[in-house]
Amino acid sequence: MSIEKMAMPQLGESVTEGTISQWLVAVGDTVNKYDPIAEVTTDKVNAEVPSSFSGRITALLVQEGDTLPVGEPICSIEVEGADRESVKTEDPLKKEKLSSGVQDDRDQSMKKRYSPAVLRLAQENDIDLEQLTGSGRSGRITRKDVQNYIDSVQSTKSENEVPANKEAEDQGQPGRLTGAACFSEAVAQAAGKTGTGQSSRTEAGDVDVPLTGVRRAIASNMLRSKHEIPHAWTMVEVDVTSLVNYRNQIKKDFQQKEGTKLTYLPFFIKAIVTALKDFPRMNSTWAGDRIIEKKAVNISLAVSSEDALYVPVIRNADEKSIKGIAIAVDELAKKVRNNRLSPDDMHGGTFTVNNTGSFGSIQSQPIINYPQAAILSVESIVKRPVVVNNMIAIRDMVNLCISIDHRVLDGWITGRFLARVKELLENISPDNTPIY
């Protein structure tokens, strides 16, 4: 018998830390190898962590809600001798070096591999990452390392500096921030702190809602998108009366045959991916010194849960039929509802579709899913009076709203892309729109 320690796994290539959202075992429980022992939340996804051993849980080394770097121990398991054979023993020489404070090049191999969250936080606060010591695996610098450094600097400044708006403070009035200070204050508040490093004030009746890893990731990505990407926005309205009639004719038979509801969304996605093939620049990303037109058409689909928004990916959507897209949408929605998304489900998207019409929205200005170049919102289908052949008719109309990265895309190509999507949707019919 021996005691082995389970470590925080790396759930994704750029993931450097994780939060124990829920323990699925207790001290004294017996587990088999690959049994789930905890739910972990990262800035990418929620996932269950399987046990690396068969044995008995002897200690839970961290509490629910604790965030720790990849590679840090999370629990201890008493294992049989047979399981020990599958465990790599630690190099005594390496252990000796570490204990004496000496680390070889291999131990520091990850030091200069920075995650997007670390880079963004360092850039916003003008921090030289070369000067920091990483607490992550192989010396990697985590977001927590950067935040601790920022907190220490702010603490030093608050002790040594006299507020520039001292007169306003003496009068009991809040000081006025201007220019860059206003933006710095907004960034700090988005990170959960005020510009002075103090916690935001709460009053009687206020409820503190702890930030989950997913909510932190949403806040970070949205702030980065608005900070770095020059957004432009436009909209077209589309007459989808033929689509509504066609879908109503076949939806019952489709569900009986396929076991999946046929919503409007697969029709919209099919039209969008077809137009993306016609206008590949829409399926691009900004790379600093160049624009990369992506060969694969992987549709990121915004799917909401009770307390977060996930963006799983339909891979190679241009190769799928409407039926294939419908099944993919249904499977991803079920994974979100059941908290079963994997890192692979969230990786590799090239263009985002946001189905805001599902909750009645008729117009929106979506924020681009960084680092993509565009996001398109499909709004609610509503009946409206429109002019058709110089006569007023009641038609099923929908707005398509798109936000673009103006570094990559201009109004000319975006307008042509939307016109193509509109053309495809308005010409849907049993004769020219196969489901299979």
Instruction: Please list the active-site residues.
Output: 406, 410
| Gap between the Cα atoms of 255 and 266, Å rounded | 14
- How far is Cα of residue 139 from the mean position of the Cα atoms in its chain? 25
Choose among 153, 84, 103: nearest CA to 125: 153
Burial status of residue 258 (CB atoms within 10 A of its CB: 0-12, 13-18, 19 or more): middle
Q: Give the Å distances, CA to CA, from 401 to 234, 352, 423.
A: 6, 12, 16
Contact status, residue 364 vs residue 391, Cβ threshold 8 Å? no
Task: Say how far apart CA 234 and CA 269 lie, in whole Å.
Answer: 18
Pairing state between β 2-7 and 73-79: antiparallel
Q: Which residue has the tokens 């049989």?
A: 80
Characterize 379-398 residue by residue with b for buried, 16 or more Cβ atoms within 10 angstroms of its Cβ, and e for exposed. bbbeeeeeeeeeeeeebbbb
Q: Specify the DSSP element, H or E, that contains 394.
A: strand 391-405
Instruction: Say how far apart CA 400 and CA 422 lie, in whole Å.
Output: 9
Q: How far is Cα of residue 82 from the mean position of the Cα atoms in its chain?
A: 40
One DSSP character per residue, 156-217 reads HHHHHPPPTTHHHHHTT-PPPP-HHHHHHHHHHHHTT--TTSPPPP--TT----PPPHHHHH
Q: What are the backbone angles phi and psi of residue 423, rounded to the nearest 5°?
A: -60, -45
What single DSSP character describes residue 73? E
- Give me the residues paired with residue 235 across strands: 401
Distance CA 35, CA 28 (A): 15
